[in-house]
Chains A and B, each alone.
Chain A
Amino acid sequence: MIPLSWYLFLSLILFTIGVLGVLIRRNAIVIFMCIELMLNSVNLALVGFSSYIGNEIGQMLVFFVMVVAAAEVSVGLAIVIAIFRNRLTVNIDEINLLKW
């Protein structure tokens, strides 16, 4: 049998790639996708713990994370569409009205 630490390290690597994507990409939609990647890597860790400890709480938490992710994506993409309608761009370097 494979130990839990393998799943946790895979989850860590995917999370790190997601953080890197958020930091280096300039396209708002791709940044959203990287956030989805990070949420999924945490889901993998939660399911791993749930299965190796023998407790269902981890899988319940994954279910609610997915619901919140769906809500977040719909509202976030609506914001992206609204910004694109006003500024005709989704490049986050040019969307700097709230920057000090």
Chain B
Amino acid sequence: MTAQALVFFILAFVSIASAILMITRANPVKSAIFLIVNFLSLSILYLTLSAQFIAIIQVLVYAGAIMVLFVFVIMLLNLQDEKRLSDRFDVRRLIAFVIVLLVFAEIAFGLGKSVSGRFLKPAENSVEIGKIEFIGEKLFTNYILPFEITSLILIVAIVGAIVLAKRKFE
């Protein structure tokens, strides 16, 4: 087993384990912490795919900004623990497992048919296109219109969040 495969398996194990722990913890703060672990392991996986810029903004935007917002809201709402998952084993939960298995089987079948024997190693220019220099140049030339529209999306989101969350004075 090569070093690359070893690194991949360790990161895959960490990300899958933290995702499973995230959806099984009753306390939302613990869920948030495990989601941060998952985001960090995904960021290192992006580095193994030589996508440096995406790895950096994964840490900055997801693990930094979005998760701080989540933890802040959890703190603001002062929530109790959810009931333990094993307490309520009902028909709805069984149906959920069946649906999830069907989704998994369907996508796995499609993936297995379409990528088997193809894409065995990264393209020669994969290191080049992951660099901040290259991405920045593309973002301000070819993709300038979508890049400017993102500023519109963000300002609409800020105004919407303030309007929804502000206390009404009557």
Tell me if A's interface is mostly helix, strand, loop or mixed: helix
Contact call A4/B115, Cβ cutoff below 8 A: yes
B82 interface residue (CB < 8 Å to A): yes
**Cβ distance B84 to chain A, nearest Cβ, rounded Å:** 12
How far is B82's CA from A90's CA once the two chains are assembled, in angstroms?
A: 10
Size range of the chain A interface in the assembly: 35 or more
Task: Give the chain A neighbours of B156 by CB distance below 8 A.
Answer: 71
Contact call A16/B32, Cβ cutoff below 8 A: no
How far is B76's CA from A3's CA once the two chains are assembled, in angstroms?
A: 45
Contact call A33/B49, Cβ cutoff below 8 A: no
Contact call B154/A54, Cβ cutoff below 8 A: no
**Which of B51, B107, B116, B157 has a CB less than 8 Å from the CB of A75?**
B157
**Cβ distance A94 to chain B, nearest Cβ, rounded Å:** 12
**Which of B39, B107, B120, B164 has a CB less than 8 Å from the CB of A12?**
B107
Of the candidates A12, A54, A74, the one having the most CB atoms from chain B within 10 angstroms of its own CB is A74
Task: Give the chain B neighbours of A47 by CB distance below 8 A.
Answer: 46, 49, 51, 54
**Cβ distance A45 to chain B, nearest Cβ, rounded Å:** 9
Task: Give the chain A neighbours of B62 by CB distance below 8 A.
Answer: 36, 40, 66, 69
Tell me if B's interface is mostly helix, strand, loop or mixed: helix
Contact call A73/B66, Cβ cutoff below 8 A: yes
Contact call B49/A7, Cβ cutoff below 8 A: yes
Contact call B129/A54, Cβ cutoff below 8 A: yes
Contact call A78/B125, Cβ cutoff below 8 A: no
How far is B161's CA from A12's CA once the two chains are assembled, in angstroms?
A: 32
Listed in ascending order, the chain B residues whose CB lies under 8 Å from chain A are 4-5, 8, 12, 15-16, 19-20, 22-23, 28, 31-32, 35, 38-39, 42, 45-46, 49-51, 53-54, 57-58, 61-62, 65-66, 69-70, 73-74, 76-77, 79, 82-83, 85, 93, 96-97, 99-100, 103-104, 107-108, 111-112, 115-116, 118-126, 129-130, 134-135, 138-139, 143, 146, 150, 153-154, 156-158, 160-162, 164-165, 167
Listed in ascending order, the chain A residues whose CB lies under 8 Å from chain B are 1-10, 12-21, 23-27, 29-30, 32-34, 36-37, 40, 43-44, 47-48, 50-56, 59-60, 62-64, 66-75, 77-82, 84-85, 90-91
